[in-house]
Chain A
Amino acid sequence: MKRIYWIGVLVLILLTAGIFVYTEYNRKRADSYSLKPLFKATALDLLKEFSDNEQQANLKYAGQNIIIEVTGMVKEVIKNEQGNYTIIMGDTSSLSSVRCSIDTLYTSGVNNLQIGSIATIKGNFNGYKADEMGIGADVEFNFCVVTSQAPSSK
């Protein structure tokens, strides 16, 4: 009787471990819309933070799945050949920008974003590319969702 009990416990442990491994292995990334941002910043402040001290800014935003909410002026909305959207935010007179690659699950309405409007976007922080090619520096995000949009205050 005791033996059967222990076999039962062992099977239960193995089954639980198996289910855990299977679920973990097939786990999809968390839904971008439901993620809470760890940081909030304006596009211009974020760019300045990196251009002033890249090393320090990299330390601040180090790690995986760092969600940042960025607010800034929409400079451009790009749709590539595969239908993926990227929203470019920042100062129109500068080549440097915050670039947000939009989550393919949340593209609805992106096409209607007005150039010059103020948008708030949250996304997964990928890093910073300093201007090494003479085409401006960029802070890059992916899996982005647009959380709000307002006309430009200018």
Chain B
Amino acid sequence: MNQRKIVLVFLIFFGTYSVDAQVRFFTKSGVIRFYSKAPLESIEAVNKSGTCVLDTKSGLVQFSILMRGFEFKKALMQEHFNENYVESNKFPKAEFKGQVLNNPTINYGKEGSYIANVKGRLSIHGETKEIETKGTVLITGGKITINADFNILLSDYKIEIPSLVKDKVSNSVKISTSCPLDILKS
């Protein structure tokens, strides 16, 4: 009986310890979508190769995506996006470096869904702006998934909309991220 108790305590301790003790988690298959509602036609695209690293101890979080990795339904839209809007040859990457402000309130060792207040610097098209948003940290089955939705303005990143379609393309773009993270073994 005593042996059983010891095994149970051991399992409980290491069951929670396995997530809690690990410090860095990452993915290279994060899904990043953007959506822009416009009178003529809504524009949406998905990038399935987002890199994300989360340090659960410090709350530091970092994202990186290649702009050419965005997939559109229409080829012409994808070409215009890369050539005329984000100029992906000149500015191939978008990056976010930030901090989970309420990191101490997130118990990475306990299953649940936690609100994460994130603040950091987002760089797109060679321009860097400070952004603050709310995301969720989902801990289930020993895995961490981070999700966040936020809006950006194209004008903040000096992404110019050609005057011909200025009234038909929205300046506001909604970005959604979903990153299931794995333990980073060092």
Contact = CB atoms under 8 A, between A and B. Distances in A.
Contact of A27 (B53, B71, B75): B75
Contacts of A147: none
Contacts, number: 79
B176 interface: no
A101 B49 contact: yes
Contacts of B75: 27-30
A133 to B, nearest CB: 5
Nearest to A29: B75
B71 A143 contact: yes
A27 B49 contact: no
Contacts of B28: 99, 135, 138
B85 to A, nearest CB: 13
A27 B48 contact: no
A145 to B, nearest CB: 15
Nearest to B92: A127
A52 interface: no
Nearest to A101: B48
Interface residues of A, number: 32
Given A27-B74, A29-B78, A78-B29, A142 B69 contact: yes
Given A25-B74, A58-B92, A133 B64 contact: yes
B66 A127 contact: yes
B101 interface: no
Contacts of B29: 78, 80, 86
The residue among A58, A63, A64 with the most chain B CB atoms within 10 A of its own CB is A64
Given A58-B92, A80-B29, A127-B88, 10 more contacts: A25-B76, A27-B76, A64-B79, A82-B31, A84-B48, A132-B64, A133-B26, A133-B53, A135-B26, A135-B53
Interface of A: 24-30, 58, 62-64, 78, 80-82, 84, 86, 99, 101, 124-127, 129, 132-135, 138, 140, 142-143
